[in-house]
Amino acid sequence: MSADTPAGTTAGATSDALIRFDNVTKRFGDNTVLDNLCFSVRPGKHVTLIGPSGSGKTTILRLLMTLESPDEGTITVNGNKLFPADEKERREARKKIGMVFQQFNLFPNMTVLRNLTEAPVRVLGLSKDEAEVRAKELLELVGLADRCDAKPTQLSGGQQQRVAIARALAMRPQVLLLDEVTSALDPELVAGVLDLLRDIARTTDITMLCVTHEMNFARDISDDVLMFDAGKVIESGPPEKIFSDPEHERTREFLGAVL
């Protein structure tokens, strides 16, 4: 890493990147949502995407989950092509990535335990017993070891989001994508979920890409912050720089409105 690039990201190409977007353009109709976007994230780094609503942040996470496809450009994860790629290569890249959504997206008809074992059994080929051991360890980690048999609707929003975090980790992803994971929660439940994510950031080597409006959380966990506007990164750097001494007028305006 050269001395003048931020700790976790770089605007150019690096060989040691875990996630790479090269000249990615995404349009919905005539709305160009991502405009020739280039950035990369090094392994183990925690990177937060900030910027006004509609600037393309969630679309980046959805591309990484292959829930959307780019119109142009290349996306790679750990050297595996995600786009453009054949189905086999894309599946390999995709296995490295877990995502936690704003609305939890748990399987409503399955127990908490089954929510955690389903994909490891189906996708990774774990035995049911292996998957259950892993699931119980993770439920312990998120403080819900005693709720294995509950259905999601029997849990609070904060508990459901903890299950969703455990479910993502059950796939042992190299990359965890977090999409405004506290915005659907009652205010009193937000801190617990953010503390859990702080612990995961501190105690694991998982790479995190995070969209959040929780600026204190972003400041705590991020190695780097990327400020988006109209589908481009207009400024990036360590949180102490972006939050305290931003260079771009647009960043100052945005932070003035949210801080």
**Closest CB 12 distance from ligand ADP, rounded Å:** 23
Amino acid found at 241 = K
Token readout for 249 is 């007028």
- Strand order of the β-sheet with 175-179 is 97-100, 175-179, 207-211, 46-50, 224-229, 232-237
Q: State how far the Cα of 154 lies from the Cα of 46, in Å rounded to an integer.
A: 32
Binding string, residues 45-84; x marks residues near ligand ADP by CB under 6 A:
------x-xxxxxxx-------------------------
Among 225, 247, 227, 245, residue whose Cα is nearest residue 237: 225
Nearer to ligand ADP, 59 or 159 (CB): 59
Q: How many residues bind ligand ADP (CB under 6 A)?
A: 11
Q: 170 Cβ partners below 8 Å, 6+ apart? A: 116, 117, 119, 120, 131, 134, 135, 138
**Closest CB 27 distance from ligand ADP, rounded Å:** 9
Nearer to ligand ADP, 44 or 54 (CB): 54
Give yes or no for residue 182 binding ligand ADP (CB under 6 A).
Answer: no
Among 30, 38, 34, 35, residue whose Cα is nearest residue 12: 38
DSSP annotation of 103 reads T
**Closest CB 153 distance from ligand ADP, rounded Å:** 27
Nearer to ligand ADP, 51 or 158 (CB): 51
Nearer to ligand ADP, 100 or 113 (CB): 100
Residues within the interface to ligand ADP (CB under 6 A):
28, 31, 33, 51, 53-59
